Structure 1
Amino acid sequence: MILYNNPRIADHLPHRIKSFVRREGRITNAQRRAFHQLWERFGIEISLSPIEPAKLFGRHASLILEIGFGDGESLAATCATNPEMDFLGIEVYRPGVGHLLLRAAELELRNLKVICFDAVEILERHLPESCLDRVQIFFPDPWPKPRHHKRRLIQPAFASLLARKLKAAGVLHIATDCESYARAASKILVAIPELKNMAADSGYISAPPYRPPTKFEQRAKGSGHPVWEILFLKPI
């Protein structure tokens, strides 16, 4: 079952402005087979009950959420090099989800679960409070035109929601190659009292070693675009 086709969920979702447009693109036969053959192993079926991370992974471990993982290569690499941590990946782009499922099977990952659904709905309705050690949002859609800024993922209400879901000492890490997005996101996050900017000058940080470069990032840097890294902590 594809999560966003679940009528039990759809009937309970209020209308709101979406932060994404579902650009499906071409899904390959291999990616389509991955949904049929690997979804039960790596995918999460969303019901009206909350997600229980310890039951989901069969252990208590640090829990990392990545929102919008693209083709999933960097997330798979992070999972492979951090087997002591558990990872949730959320993405609405089905070819990317299919690609990650294939990669996860190839790497025999045991610390990854995948959700193909709107991240805002998952956070609002399905993840418990104070459950995340880190939230990663790498190269979200910048929606550069001013009339589209309302569609940007990082909005005041969503930032407050992320702060609630983070554990004490948890961190929110955002990377973008859009300067206006970086400025706007930083301004929003600074206004959240539960969060503290970890940059020494209250600006941006260098890319931490745990974040492998994404395909999108490599293209951006190849075009001469700098990358802004934002890191906020939820103090104890």
Structure 2
Amino acid sequence: MTDGQERAWTDLAPRYVLHAPRDEAATSVRPGAAIDPREVWGRDAALIVEVGSGQGHAIIHAASSRPDDDFLAVEVFTAGLARTMLDAEKAAVRNLRLVEANAPEVLEHLLPPGSVDELWIFFPDPWHKNKHNKRRLVTPEFAAIAARAVTDGGVLRLATDWEQYARQMREVLDAAPEFARAFEGEWSERFAGRVLTAFERKGTRAGREIRDLAYIRRVRE
């Protein structure tokens, strides 16, 4: 991290970063480590979670424009979280928290079942080489973990600039019994709540079409 990011971590982490009890790995979450969102944010409000929040551009914009909702940024890269805190502090955002941890373990162990109203996965690493496809986040196993965390009627939103990955995500979620499509046709309309970031512009400039998906969490039986 830069000196500024180091200072941000020291000065701002107590305000923004959630403590995640660890299992064996540095970014793991120990089973049984669930938080109570109402205690963390100090109120009862809708909870929006972004997986792979990067430097936080999308979630800071959303948290600023939706002050009545609560937001959680999940990221494993410390420098990205530090940048997020710096920008959040500059924007006086108070409804945002961050956690440095693996996303599946956050959804499975840190967040209570049915506690997430919206789950965002925007531009996850495509691992576009065939030999690396197995490292992709969105798999049938992940869909089941996401379904555990998302409340009945909640929304799972995804976006990617890699067509093959978009098709894989759609195939996985179409087959997931806990989710139903929230769109007609091939792809969802662009989510209006997703701010246009430099990352998305880069993909567009490279000639890659942005594809969105949206799914509703079915009511639990």
Deviations 1:106-145 (A, max 9, x none): 1111110000111112122111100100000100000111
Provide the C-alpha distance between the structure 1 equivalents of 2:216 and 2:131, rounded to a whole number of angstroms.
30
Q: CA deviation at 1:233?
A: 0.6
Whether 1:82 aligns to 2:66 is: yes
CA distance in 2: counterparts of 1:32 and 1:85, whole angstroms: 29
Which residue number corresponds to residue 39 of structure 1? 13
TM-score normalised per structure 1: 0.86
CA shift, 1:235, in A, is 3.1
Measured in 1, the distance between the counterparts of 2:130 and 2:205 equals: 26
Q: CA deviation at 1:91?
A: 0.7
Match of 1:208 in 2: 191
- The within-5 A match list for 1:49-64 is 49-64=33-48
Q: Which ranges in structure 1 are unaligned for 5 or more consecutive residues?
A: 1-26
Q: How many residues align?
A: 209
One-letter code of the match for 2:129? K
- Runs of 4+, deviation exceeding 6 Å: none
Give the distance between the partners of 1:65 and 1:87, measured in 2 at CA: 6
**Map 1:1-236 → 2, pairs under 5 A:** 27-47=1-21, 48=30, 49-201=33-185, 203-236=186-219
* Alpha-carbon distance, 1:231 to partner: 0.4
Contact 2:108/2:149 (8 A) holds in 1 = no
State the 1:197 CA deviation: 1.1
Q: Deviations over 1:176-201 (max 9, x none)?
A: 00001000111010111110111212
Distance 1:55 1:62 in 2: 13
Measure how far apart 1:83 and its partner are. 0.3
> What is the Cα-based RMSD across aligned positions, in Å?
1.0
Distance 1:85 1:126 in 2: 19
SS at match of 1:169: strand
3-state SS of the aligned residue for 1:199?
coil
Cα distance in 2 for partners of 1:159, 1:56 equals 26
Q: Higher mean Cα deviation, 45-54 or 97-106?
A: 45-54
- Deviation of the 1:172 alpha carbon: 0.5
Superposed CA offset, 1:188-236 (max 9, x none): 10111110111212x2112121111122101111222110101011134
Q: CA deviation at 1:171?
A: 0.6
Contact kept? 2:47, 2:72, Cα under 8 Å? yes
TM-score, normalization by structure 2: 0.92
Identity of aligned residues (%): 35
Unaligned ranges ≥5, structure 2: 22-29
Q: Alignment partner of 2:159: what SS?
A: strand
